[in-house]
Homo-oligomer: A and B are copies of this chain.
Amino acid sequence: MPNKYEELRAFFYPKSIAIYGASNTPFKFANMHLFNLLSSGYNGKIYLIHPRESTVLGFKTYRSVVDVPDPIDLVLIVAPTRVVPQILEDCGKKGIHHVICVTAGFSEIGNVNGRRLLKETAEKYNIHIMGPNCIGVVSTDINLNCTPVPLPPPKGGAGIISHSGSWACHILFTIDEKLRLGISKIASVGNEVNTDMVDFLEAFEEDPDIKAIGLYIEGLRRAKKFFEVAKRVSRKKPIIAAPIGQGEAGMRAAQSHTAAISTPATIMNPILKQAGVLVTDSPSEMLNFLHAVTSQPLPAGPRVGVVTVGGGPGTTIADLCEKYGLKVPLLSDSLQNKLKDILPFTASTKNPIDITFDMTWDNFYVKIPKLLVKSGEVDSLIFYGLFSMEKWFKNIIQINNPALNSIKDLIDMKLFEGSHVVMTDMFKSLIRTTRKAKIPVLFTNLFLSRTDSLIEFIQSHGIPLFLPEVAPKIMSLMWQYSHYLQKTNQTSFE
Binding site for B on A (CB under 8 A): 26-27, 29, 32, 35-36, 38-39, 57-59, 104-105, 108-109, 149-151, 162-168, 170-171, 173-174, 176-178, 216, 218, 242, 244-250, 252-254, 256-258, 281-285, 306, 308-316, 318-323, 327-330, 345-346, 348, 350-352, 354, 356-357, 359, 385, 389, 391-392, 394-396, 398-399, 401-407, 410, 416, 418, 445-449, 451, 467-469
Contact = CB atoms under 8 A, between A and B. Distances in A.
Given A166-B310, A318-B253, A35 B350 contact: no
Contact of A29 (B254, B357, B399): B357
Nearest to A320: B281
B446 A171 contact: yes
A423 B141 CA distance: 36
A254 B311 contact: yes
A228 to B, nearest CB: 26
B311 A247 contact: no
Counted per complex, copies of this chain come to: 2
A175 to B, nearest CB: 9
> Which one of A306, A350, A395 has the greatest number of beta carbons of chain B within 10 Å?
A395
A147 to B, nearest CB: 12
A38 B402 CA distance: 12
Contacts of A316: 167, 242, 244, 250, 283
Contacts of A356: 104
A58 B404 contact: yes
Contact of A346 (B105, B327, B395): B105
Contacts of A469: 281-285
Nearest to A265: B319
A166 B313 CA distance: 7
Contact of A348 (B164, B246, B256, B283): B256
B354 A256 contact: yes
Contacts of A447: 173-174, 176-177
Nearest to A253: B315
A26 B398 contact: no
Given A395-B35, A399-B35, A467-B284, A319 B244 contact: yes
B311 A253 contact: yes
Contacts of A170: 310, 312-313, 385, 446
Nearest to A149: B391
Given A312-B163, A402-B58, A253 B27 contact: no
A427 to B, nearest CB: 18
A244 B323 contact: no
